[in-house]
Structure 1
Amino acid sequence: MQQQARGNAIGVIGLGAMGMGIATSMLEVGLPVIGCDVSERAREAFVAHGGRSVATPDELAAECDVVVLVVINAEQVEMVLFGERGLAGELAPGSLIMQCATVAPSYAVALGERLNAMNLEMLDAPISGGATKARTGELSVMSSGSDAAYAKGQAALDAMAAKVYRLGDSPGAGSSVKLVNQHLAGVHIAAAAEAMALGMRMGIDPDTLYEVITHSAGNSWMFENRVPHILKADYTPLSAVDIFVKDLNIVHQTGRELSLAMPVAASALQQFTAASGAGFGREDDAAVIKVYQRLSAFELPAANDIQGESSQ
């Protein structure tokens, strides 16, 4: 049974790299924020930033009328909303779920309909920009939803985003545009890895190659951002290989739903799947280059040759 909310705090579920950045950026502009994560360490880290935290989603219902979901996939969305200790059935009517995970557009549409039937608003609001921009409140949000959903979520959006794209008046459009972004991002990372493998296999110094390409027409944002991870031999997972296994699978699934062949995305998916299968799934997505290294005779930069910190 739904309860009447006793406050207007904002809940953030998922205090990973992106969620922690979003929650702390909201704190810094003075919003009342309560974080939620299964990890005690994550909860303690948020408290150290000056926030409050709870261990289960349903604990947010008494104080929050806006809840931002920054979880990994649709399965986790289901769990935090409708599973044991789930949130959706406990929120007051008119409360807002801002769903930021990358999910299939068809799932976003169905979720919006389910929440609407419970007298809850949903903003389909996938995000882009990485952990650094999450921390500074400069994300891009690809969003769709009703006017009421936008009005309810305006303070949260102002705190977390530099740009909010309003793409439609119901859930689905935001996730559709995010899927196009993830198609390109995954393909660009795989292409950057393959190009660097080609250069190193030909004996070109990788630092020189990076310098030339970033000042040439072949450059891309992903090449410029991810190749330094390779050069520094730092595969700390700012965005993991397995994220693109998931996201490119969603691209592939959506293509099948639309009878649209996407051979370039399929090729990139195979490379990320191979990297995951080789044991690199939890490493940074730049680790897809290790698939090429295993198949050919070239050396990757070694950690003990590196100075400086990993690129964000």
Structure 2
Amino acid sequence: MEAVSKTIHRVGDTPGMGQTVKACLQSLIGGVFSATFEAAALAAKAGVPGQVLYDVVSTSSGGSIAANTALEKIIDRQFVGTGSQISTMHKDLTISLDLARELGVPLFTATAAMQLFQAGKTKYPEGDNWIVTRVLEEIVGAELKR
């Protein structure tokens, strides 16, 4: 484990607990990404420059590594080849939602995120996560650029 991560968390003694924690984390990340994509489309439609949105978000309580990275990729128009393929997030959200269904836990935000990622994966199957923003931008008719 030390070869692939500098931080190792022991999450339980029961087999599968690591996968369960990962499903929780991916549900959260999917929600953060989706909210960021929607904020980017809203800012674009309103005429807010991408750099302004990034500067405000990245220095506020709304910022996070996930949101900041997503905004950087969006305003730089880097939608392919960034190492964060949409198919991986789609798979991870599928795992999260399957686990939630098995346990009877409603995941409203993760379900909405999955729909956005499904739209992105359908339209741009070779894209990275940020490509979802392009789908939203096409709907609103505006692009967020630096």
| Normalised TM-score (structure 1) | 0.45
Kindly indicate whether residue 109 of structure 2 is the aligned counterpart of residue 264 of structure 1: yes
**TM-fit CA distance, 1:276:** 0.9
Corresponding residue of 1:180: 24
**TM-fit CA distance, 1:159:** 2.8
Spell out the pairing of 1:78-97 with structure 2 (5 A cutoff): none
After TM superposition, the runs of 4+ consecutive aligned structure 1 residues lying more than 4 A away are none
The two structures, once aligned, show a CA RMSD in angstroms of 1.4
**TM-fit CA distance, 1:160:** 2.5
Identity %: 30
Corresponding residue of 2:126: 282
Q: Output the CA distance in 1 between the equivalents of 2:4 and 2:97.
A: 30
Corresponding residue of 2:65: 221
| Aligned counterpart for 2:41 among listed residues 185, 197, 200 | 197
Kindly indicate whether residue 54 of structure 2 is the aligned counterpart of residue 210 of structure 1: yes
Q: CA offsets, 1:132-182, max 9 Å, x none?
A: xxxxxxxxxxxxxxxxxxxxxxxxx23332111112223211111111110
Decide which structure has the larger Cα Rg and report it.
Answer: 1
Q: Is the 8 A contact 1:190 1:268 kept in 2?
A: yes
Corresponding residue of 1:233: 77
**TM-fit CA distance, 1:204:** 0.6
Structure 2 unaligned runs (5+)?
none
**TM-fit CA distance, 1:197:** 0.9
Q: Alignment partner of 2:95: what SS?
A: helix
Counterpart AA for 1:267 = A
**TM-fit CA distance, 1:259:** 1.0
Q: Output the CA distance in 2 between the equivalents of 1:158 and 1:243.
A: 23
**TM-fit CA distance, 1:281:** 2.4
Q: Output the CA distance in 2 between the equivalents of 1:281 and 1:190.
A: 17
Q: Output the CA distance in 2 between the equivalents of 1:261 and 1:212.
A: 32
Q: Is the 8 A contact 2:40 2:144 kept in 1?
A: no
Q: Is the 8 A contact 1:237 1:285 kept in 2?
A: no
Q: Alignment partner of 2:112: what SS?
A: helix
Q: Output the CA distance in 2 between the equivalents of 1:158 and 1:219.
A: 28
Q: Output the CA distance in 1 between the equivalents of 2:2 and 2:122.
A: 40
**TM-fit CA distance, 1:220:** 2.0
Counterpart AA for 1:259 = G
Q: Output the CA distance in 1 between the equivalents of 2:119 and 2:45.
A: 20
Corresponding residue of 1:165: 9
Q: Output the CA distance in 1 between the equivalents of 2:144 and 2:65.
A: 21
